[in-house]
A and B are shown apart, each in its own frame.
Chain A
Amino acid sequence: MRGLKGGIPIGLGYLSVSFTFGIMAVSYGFAWWQAVVISMMTLTSAGQLAGIGVMVHPGQYMEMLISQITINLRYSFMSVSLSQKTSPSFRGIKRWLLGFFMTDEIFAVASAEDEVDTKFFLGLSVMPYIGWTLGTLFGSLLGSVLPDMVLNALCLAIYGMFLAIIAPVAKTSKPVLLVVAVAAVLHCVFAFVPVLNQISSGLTVSICAVLAAVLGAILFPVKDEEVTS
């Protein structure tokens, strides 16, 4: 029940983000139900966006696989990270089933817990999944009626959510503030320096995040209490 409630803001955020995905998918030439099926089976933002970009060209299966692996590599780190916080009974088949719901935001909210049990994680996943599916449906059906300006503003929702996840921790922990700044600056370097900006953004996110986290782990190794709490 507490998990279900915790998922409401994520679900609302997803509603607006997947709304944008629905609009884009239709503008790429997909049918509304295709957009919805993609969202229901994949449940990821950046990967789906890159995915429909590849799908418009026929037969580039390898390209699809490589782009998805690089964009989604971050989920592996999150899964390993959260695997350290689960309650003793949350294992085996439960992990195989609920691992599907490991998104950036569900992970972020779950990792703020001391211990994550099956019920909490499942509850936490419900509203985001509904939000992601309905948002895609609405976006693909009626995206064309909204003015560009509103759509533009809605695209910021997901980033606002990211800020709200980072800020409270960065405020109390100097090391977190520093590694976050390093990751952001590094990614700007990758985005704007020639040659480096040719690398796909999914891959550069992973590279910058890993480098910054390694730096943090070397300079400020956490005490055991910090990791478990």
Chain B
Amino acid sequence: MKDFWIYLAILAGSTYLIRAIPFAAFQKKIKSRFARSFLYYIPYTVLAAMTIPAALQATGHIFSAAAGLLVGGLFAFKGKGLTFVAVASCIAALAVELLLKFVFPNVSF
């Protein structure tokens, strides 16, 4: 139990500080064009690296995950909002999981 609180302090403390220190420290505009460009691209590359390939392993089958990503990606490119795309991904993945379970129960992947 004592372990839990120490662990929690490290987990929560390090997560907080890694967010708050840079946020509080950089009060001025950064002038370097390279740094500004880097900061412009970094959020998108972080999200991309977090999604690929982990999302393909997020569900029970790579097929359901791929279907979910494909459908989500399609709607995202059509300009649909966050919730719509997220729900569409889940429904597509669920549909493929159902298909795999009930229509092709004997096929192993």
Chain A contact residues, CB within 8 Å of chain B: 8-10, 12-13, 16, 34, 37-38, 41-44, 46-48, 51, 54-55, 58-59, 61, 64-65, 68-69, 72-84, 91-92, 95-96, 98-100, 102, 104-105, 107-109, 111, 148-150, 152-171, 175-176, 179-188, 191-192, 201, 204-206, 208-210, 212-214, 216-218, 220-222, 224, 226-227
Contacts and interface: CB of A to CB of B under 8 A. Distances in A.
Interface residues of B, number: 76
B94 A149 contact: yes
A108 B69 contact: no
B87 to A, nearest CB: 7
Nearest to A72: B18
Contacts, number: 318
B20 A96 contact: yes
Cβ-closest 6 pairs across A and B: A160-B89, A99-B20, A167-B76, A217-B37, A160-B86, A184-B52
Interface of B: 3-4, 6-8, 10-12, 14-16, 18-27, 29-30, 33-55, 58-60, 64-65, 68-69, 72-73, 75-77, 79-91, 93-94, 97-98, 101
A63 to B, nearest CB: 10
Contacts of A58: 3
Contacts of A111: 43
A82 B23 contact: yes
Nearest to A165: B47
